[in-house]
Structure 1
Amino acid sequence: MNDTIAISGHRVPRDIVDPSTLGLADAAAAIRQGDITSEAYTGALLARARTLAELNAFITIDETAVSEAARDADKARAAGSAAPLLGVPLGVKDSYLTKGLPTSLGLDSLAHFVPREDADAVRAVKRAGALVLGKNNLVEMSYGLTGHNARYGQVKNPHARNRVSGGSSSGSAASVAAGLVPASLGGDTVGSIRVPASFCGVVGFKPTTGRWPRNGVGPISHTLDTTGAFARSVEDCILLDRVVTGDRTAEVSEDSYDLKGVRLAFAPRQFLDLVDPEVEGRFREVVRQLQDAGAEIVEVDLGDDFNALIQTATWGIFAHETMGAISDFLRRHDIPTTFEAIYDGLKPQLRQAWGHIVLPGGAGAVSAEAYQTTLNVRRPEIQRRLDKAFVAHGAQVILQPTTPCTAPLIEEQATVRISGQDVSYLALANHTVSASSVGLPGISLPVGLSRAGLPIGLELDGSLGSDSTLLVLARKIEGVLGTQPTAI
């Protein structure tokens, strides 16, 4: 075994490297090059997961199985395998079916359900040599933004244990931020990757809807659902995207951080309307840094009614499609429960919400006619306005603060305070719903800490199908702004 490990292109003495600080690409390269063994690396991550169990980032870890898989990976490497993720353990949101490993969807009633198949995205990372360290905690049925789970516990923010992690992919974000895994798989319908990425200070990538496979993942909305990833750098997201999709066009050279000729848009009237002053201040400072690095910044206006339009459209689709999407998923994958049984077992707050907006007879349910109007009229109008920013103004991405505030206190998660106003926790997704509404790719980058030491996120949204361009630009912007260290 080598005495040094290559980290970001530099050789570092192995005895001073904390395995929990390795990113995905560096860990994969270290195992392939023989700098470390998968067994040793996996053992170190398992030990860290035991030490930080109070974060509630994982629901299930099968230490015996993952340790055996690590030894098998080392044997494969000795036999000549050079798989891109060989021997690297990942976290997987517990909404993804995993063969031989329990998949709960966040529900007590499915705590012991063991699927006979992997979700397509899990199959893809396994085929690339990755191991599943464990199944990440999540909000029940992925229905929430703060990280609270009645059965498996509140996921705590690694930067401050009294703060929420964000949700619904709560444990996925927290496990990456805390150095329990170098990357994890999550899901995003209205912000469930980007919100926790922002709160936990990691990179969260939501591809264009449909770019990553969704088969085998517990759904909410077939129109809005997207699988995606958390990592500590954009480079690691590029690696995962390449593994899952086979698309290699987003590769970036180390010295390509020049932003000259890059045009970035932001819409202050829409995305700085209800934002904490400290978050807005950091956002404007970031915009100045990007300008100083050569980027051209253009202000756009998406219309007085834009926020109301995306809120009505996105949440209406979200709720209207839930019952059908879940019922179909349960049938297709032989999951031993029913929609009605899930509804009856939900925690009181969530059961009340489903009764109001998900069940067809609920007082807040969207009618079939209103749903069709949203699909045929409202969504095209949202797309038209966003296209104006991308086409008429020539912007490659739209910038905004990922979340309007930093992570709220756990005890204040039902009603949060933003810029002096008490608002519903749903406001945490006020910015992320924009990309979700029409399926745009989006990525959240950590861009610093508040005075209280809480992460602040920057969201970049690209045009439909521009994932490779978005990832390349995000990598350049990350090069200008820098990356964030592990939280703990």
Structure 2
Amino acid sequence: MNDTLSSSTRTSAPEVQTFASLGLAAAADAIRAGEITSEAYTTALLQQARSHADLSAFITIDEDSVLEAANNADKARSAGAEGPLLGVPIGVKDSYLTKGLRTSIGLDQLARFIPTEDADAVRAIKDAGALILGKNNLVEMSYGLTGHNERYGQVKNPRAHNHVSGGSSSGSAASVAAGIVPASLGGDTVGSIRVPASLCGVVGFKPSTGRWPRHGVAPISHTLDTTGVFARNVEDCILMDQVVTGDKVVEPVERDPNLRGVRLAFAPGQFLGLVDPEVEDRFREVVRRLRDAGAEIFEIDLGDDFNALIQTTTWGIFAHETQGAISEFLRLHNVPITFEAIYESLKPQLREAWAHIVLPGGAGATSLEAYQTALHVSRPEIHRRLSQLFATQGALAILQPTTPCTAPSIDEQGALRIAGQEVSNLALANHTLSASSVGLPGISLPAGVSRAGLPIGLELDAPLARDQALLTLARRIETVLGVQPPSL
């Protein structure tokens, strides 16, 4: 990250904190109204990035370019230009291609790769007037849930620097939580938006699979991959969803804390079986608060085999499709590296995991027959059970703790203890797998903090393609739960 801010362009500490506290919509409104300039706002965020450099939330920030873009945005606004995100700097996970700005996908070998095209979602936010503040750190090839990157550093949790951020969209979550950017684009295959959103105390929205464009984003699985966003409130996710999809908001954004008529379900047998007691206590307190606000919340049972079914199905598809998806992406976008070279360059733990589950012939690899069963038998069965719940019982969403524990310490990320059991860090995605398995929209909201001050997340999953309804519902629930301010 180059240090180019002169003393004449620096912003005072109180002003930096004021700017860093702005959400996406608030910043866009302030710039549009002429209350602040893009240049002043961008300068403050760059100073915030510098003061939080120890988080390792970014791989690349080109300060000269973003300041020039901010200045151009101010000139455009003065000339009458409009745009829903005009002059607002946004973070972008470094798995997205960005024209003229390096894209590493978390790999040392691509540290000098500068794409000649933007990913479709990046193009959409640029067309809306947004600036790219920088490229967020991520787990190599988006393959991991704790935020560790061998080359670019462990992303630290802004709420507690000795704890993980979650992953794989680690830097995206951390940069929003730290007030460096008001929003950041991320990616979610099995939970890579919702897990770090939960652990860092921000909002993480995973749209229905296929709703947001993913062309130009390094993939893992063509069946499961989804692009999405981190922000500090649901209103900002609604704005970003509208910008990226082009859909007009059909349903009004409710701010009424009265939840009468809202039917919500939760499945204790499936989502509270392996959860830290403090997380479960907080979840049940949230359920009580939502009921007090008028919501009707009822228990359901998705079947004794449900967790095993989503684990086998989702991880099987995830691993089986990885090599083909990555190879096709490299070929299509002329990325100067091969799949084989990527494999050889991976950190030892990840290379061992790929040898086990990704490479054909690996001891844990999913056979073609098992893959076809997952796609055509197990996946439809998961969808049938969830659809039946929504259709026959009228639930608008399913509730669960987003993650079964708060952010593990960095030293303990290799093997976690959840509810007294030693598990792998893949358990962080135990609850996010359900929506991922069949492509449902899901959102993680901050739901409070532990006694140690670590964030706890609440996930809501809605029926397929009911993204706008989910966002409207989430905004109403957020009114009850409150918004978590950034850690400045």
- Could you tell me which residue of structure 1 aligns to residue 293 of structure 2? 293
- Residue pair 2:254, 2:476 contacting (<8 A) in 1 also: no
Distance in 2, Cα, partners of 1:253 & 1:365: 45
- One-letter amino acid of the counterpart of residue 356, structure 1: H
Work out whether residues 238 and 250 of structure 1, in 8 Å CA contact, stay in contact via their aligned partners in 2: no
| In 2, Cα distance between equivalents of 1:380 and 1:15 | 53
**Deviation of residue 419 (structure 1)?**
0.6
1:477 paired to 2:484: no
Gaps of 5+ in 1: 1-13
Corresponding residue pairs, total = 475
Question: 2:125 — aligned with what?
Answer: 125
Unaligned ranges ≥5, structure 2: 1-13
Q: State how 1:349-388 maps to structure 2 within 5 Å.
A: 349-388=349-388
Q: Percent identity at matched positions?
A: 75
1:134 is matched with 134
SS in 2 for 1:113: coil
Deviation at 1:252, TM superposition (A): 3.4
How many angstroms apart in 1 are the aligned matches of 2:259 and 2:421?
37
List aligned pairs for 1:265-414, cutoff 5 A. 265-414=265-414
* Helix, strand or coil at the partner of 1:18: helix
The match for 2:158 is 158
1:245 aligned partner: 245
The residue that corresponds to 1:55 in the other structure is 55
Query: In the TM superposition, what whole-angstrom CA distance separates every residue of 1:224-258 from its partner, at most 9, and x where no partner exists?
Result: 00000000000000000000011123553464332
| 1:172 and 2:172 correspond | yes
Matches within 5 A, 1:76-155: 76-155=76-155
TM-score by length of 1: 0.96
Cα distance in 1, alignment partners of residues 236 and 216 from structure 2: 23
Q: Does 1:416 align with 2:454?
A: no
Q: Partners of 2:442 and 2:179 in 1: how far apart?
A: 23
Superposed CA RMSD? 1.1
Give the direction of change, closer, same or farther, for the CA distance of 1:253–1:314 in structure 2 (3 Å limit): closer
- Quote the residue 1:260 is aligned against: 260
Q: Is the 8 A contact 2:16 2:48 kept in 1?
A: no
User: Shift of residue 449 of structure 1?
Assistant: 0.7
Note if 1:68 corresponds to 2:53: no
CA shift, 1:48, in A, is 0.8
Residue by residue over 1:383-419, the C-alpha shift from the partner in whole angstroms, topping out at 9 and shown as x without a partner, is: 1111121112110000000000000000110111101
Give the letter aligned to residue 171 of structure 2.
G
Instruction: Using the TM superposition, give the Cα deviation of residue 298 of structure 1 relative to its aligned residue in structure 2, in angstroms.
Output: 1.3
Structure 1 residue 16, shift from structure 2 partner: 9.7
Which segment is superposed worse, 252-261 or 153-162? 252-261
Give how far 1:105 is off.
0.3
Show the counterpart of 1:22. Answer: 22
Q: How many Å apart are 1:200 and its aligned residue?
A: 0.2
Maintained 8 Å contact 1:250/1:471: no
Counterpart contact for 2:249–2:468, Cα < 8 Å: yes
In the alignment, residue 214 of structure 2 is paired with which amino acid?
R
Question: Hey, what does 1:427 align to over in structure 2?
Answer: 427
Alpha-carbon distance between aligned partners in 1 of 2:477 and 2:252, rounded to the nearest angstrom: 12
Higher mean C-alpha displacement, 387-396 vs 129-138: 387-396
**SS of equivalent residue, structure 2 residue 187:** strand
Structure 1 residues 17, 105: CA separation in 2 closer, same or farther (over 3 Å shift)?
Answer: closer
**Superimposed CA distance per residue, residues 46-79 of structure 1 (whole angstroms, 9 cap, x where no aligned partner):** 0110111000000000000000000000001001
C-alpha distance in structure 2 between counterparts of 1:337 and 1:451, whole Å = 46
Question: Residues of 2 paired with 1:55 and 1:332: CA distance?
Answer: 33
Residue 446 (structure 2) aligns with = 446
Letter in structure 1 aligned against 2:167: G
User: Does structure 2 conserve the Cα–Cα contact (< 8 Å) formed by 1:238 and 1:251?
Assistant: no
Answer with 162-171 or 253-262: which moved more. Answer: 253-262
Superposed CA offset, 1:285-340 (max 9, x none): 00011111111001110000000000000000000000000000000000000000
Q: Deviations over 1:348-396 (max 9, x none)?
A: 0000000000000101100101100111100011011111211121100
User: Does structure 2 conserve the Cα–Cα contact (< 8 Å) formed by 1:310 and 1:433?
Assistant: yes
Post-superposition shift, 1:282?
Answer: 0.4
Looking at structure 2, the residues matched to 16 and 198 of structure 1 have their Cα atoms a distance apart, in angstroms, of: 25
For the residues of structure 1 that align with 2:445 and 2:16, how far apart are their CA atoms?
27
Partner of 2:456: 456
SS in 1 for 2:465: coil
